Chains A and B, each alone.
Chain A
Amino acid sequence: MSTAVDVKTLIIDGMDVSARQDQTVLDVARENNIFIPTLCHLEGVADIGACRLCLVEVKGTPKLLSACTTKVYEGMEVTTDSERLRKYRRMTLELLFAERNHVCAVCVANGHCELQTLAYGQGMDHVRYDYCFPKWGMDLTHPFMGMDHNRCILCTRCVRVCWYIEGAGTKNTSGRGGGSMIITDLNQPWGDSETCTSCGKCLMSCPTGALFKKGSTAGESDRDRSMLEFIVNAREKKQWTV
């Protein structure tokens, strides 16, 4: 393996960094302790660039690019924090809140929610858009897991872990735009799913309070993603193959 040719050098926030050519801007930024907010990104599963929170500026490109899906190149100059980026990130967060029904104070994920944490972090103290107040329901048919569509941000992390890590393919998306929703199998009650292995990986992956252990009350969804990381690591590093 030739490593020398694979190495790219680039500048992130004025700092010279080097990276492998298959890495994304997000990977490199994280390696160098540069914070870029993310929501749909989850270590171990493919990125899809859905949430647009990780947008960065790249010199020479008028468009903002999502750091999680943009590969590095030689001489790239990336800015991860600017007035413009902060404006768009805040707007994106506000739109996420306005789109469904988030009542953090009584949410199972209160205090442990990635969306909430980012909103605090980006100084979002109010939402400038009209709330949509859609009528989404809950699916409590599974024996020990529940889904509240009101809190789903459609990041599809649950779908991706279900397909790519568990290999069950139970979780899917249906619909378009704001009317999209996460479904189980061919849109049937979760409890009736024949493919769900009840592994709970979707629960571990969910950044919000949309997926939770049944019986949880406010602030009780304190997720442990270490099990997910453990499985991903083991798989990628082939720790289980003999």
Chain B
Amino acid sequence: MSKRIIIDPVTRIEGHAKISVYLDDAGNVTDAEFHVVEFRGFEKFCEGRSYSEMPGITPRICGICPVSHLLASAKAGDAIMAVKIPPAADKLRRLMNLGQIVQSHALSFFHLSAPDFLLGWDSPAEKRNVFGLIASNTDLARAGIRLRQFGQEVIEVLGGKKIHPAWAVPGGVRSALSQEGAARIRAWLPEAHATTRVALDLFKGVLSTHEREAQLYGNFPSLYMGLVAPDGTWEHHGGKLRFTDSSGSIIADQIDPADYRTVIGECVQESSYLKSPYYLPLGKDDGVYRVGPLARLNLCARMGVPLADEELKVFRTHGHGSVTSSFLYHYARLVEILASLEYIERALDDPDLFSTDLRADAGINSLRGVGASEAPRGTLFHDYTVDRDGKLQKVNLIVATGQNNLAMNRTVAQIARHFLKGTEITEPMLNRIEHGIRCYDPCLSCSTHAAGRMALHLRLVAPGGDVVGEAVRD
């Protein structure tokens, strides 16, 4: 009989998580599953609402990346209206997304992940957090918090509030950038650059002393998916889908996100509310793909901005063809922060950002609309079907954490395989599994929007013979 070890919950991740590690009779790890038990049913209760309300509703899915839902939602609305939004609106949305990438990545790196690799995996849990980091690396922690604030500032000067800004709307955006806001961003840029540089140098140091982690934390071949520009340059809001494999070869390119169903299949795991997408042509087992910073850096031909392009070259020395270790997600995040800062800087010189032509108007011209955008954690799809009055008939949201789910399972199994001795669940192993998951920076509340009914009681795994070890930790 197979045995199962449950670790619940993973701390310091937004939302709650449950992990099962499956053992064979000899006590070897065969598989692992990362269950998401939080249920928010957004897709279901949006049915019957107006599509134009979605940019107000969907950012509530997640307090960490509301902007991503906002933008994908507004984009799906554009598609339903079948309008080309004013260029200024597109540029402003992009600017906000860049701010979002900076703030979210800074949070992931400095607040959530750095305590692990800077203070040590085995330092006490009560110290291994951002407060511990403030105590030991005061300047760095402070700079990291400020870098996140910078990203939030970009969002705020555009949307008016740091979180949940219903600022992007179907057809465009509600307000432009002010000169004063632009000046505030500009003045803060040098400091943001300096912090990013410090973090990059620091992480390269970490890499040289953490070869084992880089080997173990989700190091396996998989596919990668993300948006790229027509010429293959890194994208975060426009562009089309590209898939590459671990050798770095492009296996599908320039696929219109609206046609995602031709390349992405979704399987629902019984034990989890998370839908696990895979690359359809290769099937569920071979079609595992990763999204997010690591994927985007693996896919793109170039970042398109000088400093980040230099950094991309260094990043790529950590792989052959593709960088396959999920531990390198941290590095990829920093490169993306750098690129975002350069793109923000470039954007500020564009007079369009102060335009008053911001919103296209139209009725319902298409009964289906798909909006895709690169959220910090990976490609996000909002797929709406409406009736001729714009009332939502069907909503499908494909979020980044869902797309990384299969890869996260593999990562957990890989780590458990190395650190589990017998059935004893040790703190060091727990810490490492947690970190393996944290590499993906999963936002659990966001990844469990899918509608479903039966899985809630599955959380109560019977302590019968099946569970041979259990650890619950707050």
Chain A residues at the B interface, C-beta cutoff of 8 Å: 105-108, 137-138, 140-141, 143, 146, 191, 214-220
Contact = CB atoms under 8 A, between A and B. Distances in A.
A106 B49 CA distance: 11
A106 B170 CA distance: 15
Interface stretch (B4-12, B52-60, B259-267, B461-469): B52-60
A175 B55 CA distance: 34
B52 A217 contact: yes
A106 B363 CA distance: 22
Interface of A is mostly: loop
A108 B391 contact: no
A178 to B, nearest CB: 20
Interface of B: 48-50, 52-53, 55-57, 60, 164, 166, 169-171, 174, 361, 363, 389-391
Contacts of B56: 105-108, 217-219
B50 A146 contact: yes
Nearest to A144: B363
25 contacts: A105-B56, A106-B53, A106-B57, A106-B60, A107-B56, A138-B50, A140-B389, A140-B390, A141-B389, A191-B389, A214-B52, A214-B390, A215-B361, A217-B53, A217-B55, A217-B56, A217-B166, A217-B169, A218-B53, A218-B55, A218-B56, A218-B166, A219-B56, A219-B166, A220-B174
A108 to B, nearest CB: 7
Given A105-B164, A191-B389, A215 B60 contact: no
A218 B52 CA distance: 9
Nearest to B58: A106
A140 B166 contact: no
Contacts of A220: 166, 169, 174
Nearest to A101: B45
B391 A215 contact: no
The 4 A-B residue pairs with the shortest CB-CB distance, nearest first, are A218-B56, A218-B166, A140-B389, A106-B56
B54 to A, nearest CB: 8
Contacts of B171: 215
A214 B390 CA distance: 9
Contacts of A216: 52-53
B48 A138 contact: yes
A157 to B, nearest CB: 22
A215 B80 CA distance: 12
Given A106-B53, A106-B57, A219-B56, A140 B164 contact: no
A217 B164 CA distance: 12
B88 to A, nearest CB: 18
A51 B52 CA distance: 30
Contact of B391 (A106, A140, A217, A218): A140
Contacts of A143: 363
Contacts, number: 50
A169 to B, nearest CB: 24
A217 B390 CA distance: 13
Contacts of A108: 53, 56
Contact of A105 (B60, B174, B390): B60
Contacts of A217: 52-53, 55-56, 166, 169
- Choose among B60, B166, B171 the residue with the greatest number of A CB atoms under 10 Å from its CB: B166
Nearest to A107: B56
A132 to B, nearest CB: 16
B49 A138 contact: yes
Contacts of B169: 215, 217, 220
Contact of A215 (B57, B164, B170): B170
A146 B50 CA distance: 9
Contacts of A105: 56, 60, 164
A106 B58 CA distance: 9
A108 B166 CA distance: 10
B171 to A, nearest CB: 8
B52 A137 contact: no
B280 to A, nearest CB: 34
Given A106-B53, A220-B174, 9 more contacts: A214-B390, A215-B170, A216-B53, A217-B52, A217-B53, A217-B56, A218-B53, A219-B56, A220-B169
Contact of B50 (A191, A214, A219): A214
Nearest to B54: A217
A105 B49 CA distance: 15
Contacts of A141: 389
A217 B169 CA distance: 7
Given A217-B55, A218-B166, A140 B50 contact: yes
A219 B52 CA distance: 12
Contacts of A215: 52, 169-171, 361
A137 B389 contact: no
A137 B393 CA distance: 13
B48 A137 contact: yes
Contacts of B363: 143
- Choose among A141, A146, A218, A219 the residue with the greatest number of B CB atoms under 10 Å from its CB: A218
Contacts of A106: 53, 56-57, 60, 166
A105 B55 CA distance: 12
Contacts of A214: 50, 52, 390
A141 B48 CA distance: 13
Contacts of B174: 220
A54 B60 CA distance: 35
Contacts of A219: 56, 166
Nearest to A215: B52
Nearest to A137: B48
Contacts of B391: 138, 140
B427 to A, nearest CB: 40
- Choose among A140, A141, A146, A214 the residue with the greatest number of B CB atoms under 10 Å from its CB: A140
